[in-house]
Structure 1
Amino acid sequence: MQSRIGPSAGKPSATTIEPSPIALREWSELGLALPNLDTMRAYRLKRVIAEIGRRDIAAILCFDPINIRYITDCTNMQLWVAHNPCRAVLVSASGRVILWDFEGCAHLSADLPLVGETRSGGGAPVFSYGEQAGTAAARFAAEVAEVLLEVGGRDGRLAIDRADPAVIFAFQNCGIELVEGQQAMERAREIKSADEIAAIRCAIAACDASVAEMRTAFHPGISEVELWSHLHAGNIKRGGEWIETRLLTSGPRTNPWYQECSGRIIEPGDLVAFDTDLIGAFGYCVDYSRTWLAGEARASDHQRRLHEIALAHVRHNAALIVPGASYAEITQQSYRLPEEFRARRYSVLAHSVGMADECPAIRYPEDSDETDPQGIVEPGMVFAVEAFVGSEHGGEGVKHEDMFLVTETGNERLTHFPLDPALMA
C-alpha cells in the first residue's frame, strides 16, 4: 500500500537520513506517492529470509553498508564504514535480526522495530584494532558462534557477503562453515515491491530537480567540477546521500568514457556528458545519463549523429527487457553499434538498479563468455540501459542512459529528464 504525502506515509527513523521539506514539497506538487516504510522494510526482510531458506543456510551476516540498509533501514556513516567495516547485521533463518553498530550508536536503530537487538564490536577493522585485529576478530567470531547456537544453527552454514581477512580466518578457526552471501543478497534485492518503486520514483524526481539546477548553472566558462557540484548540492539538500562516481566530462575528455570530472573549463560548442550515479531519497539509486551542447552554436552533424546512435541503442535494448526474456537472449539480440564505436562501447548494455547498481549486469555479445550472469527478467525488476558512443579514432563521445521498470506486460521508462534539443537530429 502507498499513501499520499502526509503524516500517514510511513514512519522514518528519528536518525535515518530522510527526505527534506524541499523534496516533500516537490513530490507533493508532482502528485507522487510516498512509500509506506513499515511495509517496505517488512518486505525486504522477508525477501532475505526467503533466500536464507532457499539456500539452506543457518543465517546470513552482512558487512556491506548497502545490505545493512536493505535489511534494517539503518544508516550510519555509510561511506566511512564501507572502508572501515565495523558494522554488521545477522539475519537467522527464523528471522532474528541482530545489528552490530559502531560504538555508542545503538540509538540509531532504537525506533526500527525489525532490529531485534543492537550490539557493538562488529568486525575487526584495522583502523580500530591495528595489529590486534586478529584478536578482535576471534572475539567477534566467538560471539557470532554463540548466536548461531541460540538459533539452532551452530552446525549449519553461515553466509557472509564480505569481510576483512582477519574475520574470515577467525570464523574458520571457530569451525564455522562459510558460504558466499552476496549472491543471496543480490537475489533478495532484485524484485522491488510497490513501496520500493514509489521510493525510486521519489528519488528520481529529486534527482531530476537537482539535474535541472545543474542545467541552469550550465554555460561555457564554467569548469566541469563546478558544474558537477550543483548535482551534489541538489541531491544532499533533498535528503539524498552521496554520489558514487565523478563521471562528468566535456569536449575532448568525453571520449573515451570513464574519465572523472576535472577543472577543465567548458568551451562553446563542447559536448558535456554525465552519469548521475547517485544514492538519493530513501537510500535508492538513480542512474541515468544525458549529454548537452554548450553555448548557442549549432551542433555539428557528427555530434548529432553520435547522439542519435546513443538514443537508438538505448531504445532498442530497452525493448528487449521484458518478462520472460533471458539475459542471454538480450545479449544476443542487442543493438549492434557501428564498427568504429564498438571498441569504446560501454562496459555493459544494462544492469539492475535498486539501492545501488545491482546484479545482473547484461553484457554485449563481444564480451559474452561462460561468466555471464544467468537468469530471466521478472516483473518488479528495475534496469538501467546504457550507451556510450565514441569513436576509437578520437573526437567527442555521447553518454545516454535511462531506467526502466519491468511490468507484467513489458516495461515502463522511469527517467524522463529532457534531452538537449540542440542535439536532436
Structure 2
Amino acid sequence: MSTIVSDLLRARLDRVRAAAAAAAADAMVIAPGSDLRYLIGGSGSSFERLTCLVLPVAGDPVLVVPKLEAPGYAEVPTDALGVRLATWVDGEDPYRLVAGLLGASTRVAVGDMLPALHVLALRDAVPGAEQVLAGPVLRELRMRKDAAEVAALRTAGAAIDRVHARMAEWLRAGRTEAEVGADIAAAIVAEGHTRAEFVIVGSGPNGASPHHDVSDRVIEAGDVVVVDIGGPVAEGYYSDSTRTYAVGEPRDADVADTYAVLQAAQRAAVDAVAPGVTAEQVDATARDVIAAAGFGEFFIHRTGHGIGLDVHEHPYVVAGNDLVLEPGMAFSVEPGIYRPGRWGARIEDIVVVTETGVEPLNRRPHELVVLPA
C-alpha cells in the first residue's frame, strides 16, 4: 500500500482509539469484515478459528491470526500501521492469548459481527470485563466519508450506471428473470466491479416484492420490471442503484400516473438533502408526496440506507432517526410504490451530503424506460 493510504489508516486507528476512550472502553476487539478493512486495509475472513484485531486505548494494536491464515494478511501494512501480528496454531487457546492482550481491561467494545462462538469464549476468558458493542463507536467515524471514500463511491456509481445503460441488451419478453439476471451479473463485473453482490429482477407481480431476487418467471410484453443491482469496486466500496423498466407499453393503465408520483417523490427527497437536515426529514419528504397522491400504504420501507464498505450501513433514512446530516454522509434515496399482485416501481440513487447540499452519484435518467418487447 502507498504511504498515503498507510497514513490514512493510521489516522483512523488513532481516531478510533480516541472515540473508544470517550465511550469509556479500555479496548476494542474487531472482527474480520468491513470494520477491519476500514481500520487496517484488509477484511480477512471469520471461521471457527479466532481472528481479531485487539485495539487497546493505550498501547499498540495486535492482529491475532491463526498461523495457517497469516499469509492472507501479507498485503496489510502492519509495520507502517504499528500493528503487531500475533499468530497461534491449532491446540493453543487463542482466547487466553487475547485475554493477555486485554490485560486489566474492565470494559471491552466487541465488534458487532464477531460470532457468538468467539464472543462467549472471550467472556469466559476475561470474566471481569464488561462487553459492549463496538458499532456505536465505529459508526460515528464510518458514516462520515473522507475524500478518498467519496471518490471510490463515485467510481462505483459510474460503474453501475454503465450496467443500467445496457439493459436493453438483456431485458425483453420471452426471457426468464434468472436469464436476465445472469447477464446483468456478468456485466456488473465487466463494467468495473469485483463481483455482483446482488441482482434483483422483479417482473410484473414480482416487482411488488421489494427484496425479490430472480426467478424462473418468463418476462411478458407489458411487464413493469424493477432492476436493483450493485457490487463492490476494487477499493471495497459499493454501488447500489435501482431503475424501473417496461417491456413494451405497460399493460396496466395506472402505471404512468403512479410512476410520475414516485418520480416526484424521489426528486423531492434528493433535493431535500443538505447539511443540517435530519435523516427523518428526508424520509418524510418522499413519504409525504406519495401519501398525498393516495399511495401511502404502498410505500412499505424506509427511504434509504447508508452505504460504503457495506451495502447497508449507517445512516438510515427512516422515520424516527433525528440524526442531523453532515458533509461526507452517503446514503441511498429510494422510495418505491408496490401494487400487490400487479406491479411495483422503485427509483434509487446514492447521494453524498456536501458542504452546501447534495451530490447524486448515479446519473441515469429517472423516467420509466420503455424497452422494445
TM range (shorter): 0.7 to 0.9
C-alpha deviations, 1:11-45, integer Å up to 9, x for none?
49xxxxxxxxxxxxxxxxxxxxxxx6445434543
C-alpha deviations, 1:252-280, integer Å up to 9, x for none?
21113222211212112211102224233
Q: 1:257 aligns with which of 197, 210, 232?
A: 210
- Alpha-carbon deviation of 1:409? 0.9
- Alpha-carbon deviation of 1:196? 0.8
- Alpha-carbon deviation of 1:249? 0.8
- Alpha-carbon deviation of 1:385? 0.8
Q: 1:358 aligns with which of 313, 318, 321?
A: 313
Aligned to 1:167: 118
Q: 1:237/1:287 Cα in 2 relative to 1: closer, same or farther (>3 Å)? A: same
Judge conservation of contact 2:161–2:364 (CA < 8 Å) in 1.
yes
Aligned to 1:108, what secondary structure does the other structure show? helix
Q: % of aligned pairs identical?
A: 24
Aligned to 2:339: 391
- Alpha-carbon deviation of 1:340? 5.2
Q: Does 1:349 align with 2:303?
A: yes
Q: Does 1:110 align with 2:74?
A: yes
C-alpha deviations, 1:104-142, integer Å up to 9, x for none?
2323333432362334459xxxxxx9xxxxx98xx3332
Whole-angstrom distance in 2 between the partners of 1:39 and 1:344: 48
Aligned to 1:415: 362
Judge conservation of contact 1:248–1:273 (CA < 8 Å) in 2.
yes
- Alpha-carbon deviation of 1:289? 0.7
Q: Which amino acid aligns with 1:386?
A: E
Judge conservation of contact 1:306–1:397 (CA < 8 Å) in 2.
no
Aligned to 1:180: 133
Q: Which amino acid aligns with 2:332?
A: A
Q: 1:291/1:87 Cα in 2 relative to 1: closer, same or farther (>3 Å)? A: farther
Judge conservation of contact 2:286–2:335 (CA < 8 Å) in 1.
no
Q: 1:39/1:346 Cα in 2 relative to 1: closer, same or farther (>3 Å)? A: farther
Aligned to 2:52: 88
Whole-angstrom distance in 1 between the partners of 2:195 and 2:10: 25
Q: Which amino acid aligns with 1:402?
A: D
TM-score (norm 2): 0.85
Aligned to 2:64: 100
Aligned to 2:277: 325
- Alpha-carbon deviation of 1:243? 4.1
**Where do 5+ consecutive residues of structure 2 fail to align?**
none
Aligned to 2:346, what secondary structure does the other structure show? strand
Q: Does 1:60 align with 2:28?
A: yes
Whole-angstrom distance in 1 between the partners of 2:210 and 2:304: 16
- Alpha-carbon deviation of 1:282? 1.0
Q: Does 1:316 align with 2:268?
A: yes
- Alpha-carbon deviation of 1:219? 2.0
Aligned to 1:158, what secondary structure does the other structure show? strand
Q: 1:213/1:391 Cα in 2 relative to 1: closer, same or farther (>3 Å)? A: closer
TM-score (norm 1): 0.75
Judge conservation of contact 1:240–1:283 (CA < 8 Å) in 2.
no
Q: 1:333/1:345 Cα in 2 relative to 1: closer, same or farther (>3 Å)? A: closer
- Alpha-carbon deviation of 1:348? 0.8
C-alpha deviations, 1:290-314, integer Å up to 9, x for none?
011114x467552222322222111
Judge conservation of contact 2:308–2:330 (CA < 8 Å) in 1.
yes
Choose 225-234 or 246-255, whichever is displaced more. Answer: 225-234
- Alpha-carbon deviation of 1:194? 0.6
Choose 331-340 or 400-409, whichever is displaced more. Answer: 331-340
Q: 1:263/1:100 Cα in 2 relative to 1: closer, same or farther (>3 Å)? A: farther
Whole-angstrom distance in 1 between the partners of 2:175 and 2:49: 38
Aligned to 1:70: 38
- Alpha-carbon deviation of 1:76? 3.8
Aligned to 2:131, what secondary structure does the other structure show? strand
The alignment covers a number of residue pairs equal to 362
